[in-house]
Structure 1
Amino acid sequence: MRSALWSLLYGAALLLCDATATYHLSPGDPRLLAAQSYAQNRNNGRPPLRTLDPRKTDAQCRSRPLDLVFIIDSSRSVRPGEFEKVKIFLGDMVDTLDVGSDATRVAVVNYASTVKIEFLLKDHFSQLDMKKAISRIEPLAAGTMTGLAIKTAMNEAFTEQSGARPRSRNISKVAIIVTDGRPQDQVEEVSAEARASGVEIYAVGVDRADMRSLQQMASIPLEDHVFYVETYGVIEKLTSKFRETLCGVDPCAMGHDCQHICVNSNASFYCKCRNGYILNADKKTCSLKQVKVEVVEDPCKCEARLAFQKQTQAALQQLTAKHILSVVSAGRIERLENMVGRA
């Protein structure tokens, strides 16, 4: 009887602990300390129930093209079972992305006391290859040099030589940092430099992560770029959150006022017309193109017309001269007759 009672109490504590992690209850609430300690011991004391399967592919969204670099903490505080959950999170993220050389490119930077680039933006252009590469990542242990990891990502991962698209392409550059501790170096200045260069930074804190450091790293607004979960056991739940953030919204599908064709452009849209039409000044409606008919005179006809005009003019001049002569002659005859009559 006593054994059954302890089993029920233990099970209730585990359920309470999972609810705490899922719904982000305050870790400082004294009523939850016991449940959290049970969860910590359970998660750290046995291997995860799920492992990364490179063949698995969930329904993906049509994301806007990105140059995306994951910067993951694998210091000693991240236990092997927890690090496996980080890799599952990365695999799930890859599943949601439209991966390809002309779509989203992904790189992974692994760090502890040292920094290791696991693969670059130019290395893998398929989900399967990326997930296989992720499954082979091993923790580095010791230290938490987050600032060094960010600097390495900027100098070596976000470069054109490593596969990043040139700035003229206007491809968004995004870094997602996952850490569970306090950085042992400075992160504020190097993060500011990264943001100033055009990199959008998301900071994900787990368990013991220092909230102030997360805020120093992340882009603004902070409420959209800083995330926190109590345990690695629920980090996978962030996949749906990032899906909403990184997946391209389809403004045309949400409604538009284009008369003919709506074209998505990042978070907005513009209107186009079908062939044979032009866009009006309102940038929404279309009008039929006015075809300008240009009449080309036949040079032969022009020369003939000119010759005819000259001939006509000459004939008129001759007629006029004859008329004048006849008038003059008639006047002379009349004067002669008058003179004979008087004689």
Structure 2
Amino acid sequence: MSGSLDRGSGVARTIGGSGSRAHHKDLLSSRDGRRLRATLFGVDPGRGQTVTSPRVGVIGARRARSGLGPFVVRELLGAGSEIPCFLSTSGRSRDETAHELEREAGIRARGYLDLKAMLKDEQLDALAILSPHATHAEYLDAALEAGLHVLCEKPLVWGVEDLGALAARLTAGFVDQGLVLFENCQWPYTLAALERLHPGVLDQLPLQFQMALWPSRRGVDMLGDSLPHPLSVLQRIAPGENSIIEDVRFSTTDPDARVTVVRFYYGVGDHRVETEVEMRPSISHPRNVRIAINGRWATRLVSARDYAISFHSDGRSVPVDDPLPLLLGDFVKAISQSPPQPDLDQARRIAHRSKLLGEIVADFQRASE
């Protein structure tokens, strides 16, 4: 057997030898072969060509607790992606997830108990990370190592002292590799409907912003459930880099409280937005969230009959396009481009949102002492 050096790539190619063509073909069709093709031929099959049906592996595909797994899977399929596999934590969970996905999304996906095995066996383009908050960073790092795009449930990271530093490192990794990163913050997609309900409400920078939410968790975890929503909206209605949070106050830090209100000022440059977020822990569905800009309220209602979403205020109502398929459609579109189209501004917003969330969490923990 002889070898030659491809001077353009610096990779030794094996030439000749018994069975070498079959071995070479098998290697290039494997997951490791995707990286080899990129090196040998200057083509990254996951990112250098149009991916008509990107293959997305799902972590946390069940509807355990208040998870969105089956709904996300269904909308990813509707947006044109394939869901060949999912990761579970136990054999029982794997079997239950397989049945749930077949029932809710009409697919038969392969279940894995080991992430490394799933990434090795499956030729994936992206991961959907829908697992518990504290596991996100581990899976984001694995996606970076494998060169995969990511849709991640909010909050992006959780359970560490410095959320901002961890988020900054991770988002920088995605930017450096030209990978797409989305955080599942859907509320900015509803702002067009809010403008239809209250014409002109988005014409100027807001002075006041309020949300009333129904998180499924209590205590500090309630903040991770809730605050990415108002923070993501504030980033859109009061845009600007290096926004700050000032004068954070809590009505209570009692984890058993029926209602917790956090108030703060959201600052961009010289502008300040007086912000109030009310959180009422609940596991009931649907949750009729309320949102207001400059005192102009809208209540989000979800029809029990067909799950249609609408905003209501003072006897008026407007339909709201379901934000989940809009967000997932944007994600699939971004990773299907040739080359994929990472949004650098979005990456910065995600990292900064985690930083602001971390500051509020730290204030909550200090107030709880």
- Report 1 or 2 for greater relative contact order, CA contacts < 8 Å, sequence distance ≥ 6: 2
TM range (shorter): under 0.3
Relative to total residues, which structure has the larger helix share, 1 or 2? Answer: 1
TM-score (norm 1): 0.27
TM-score (norm. length: structure 2): 0.26
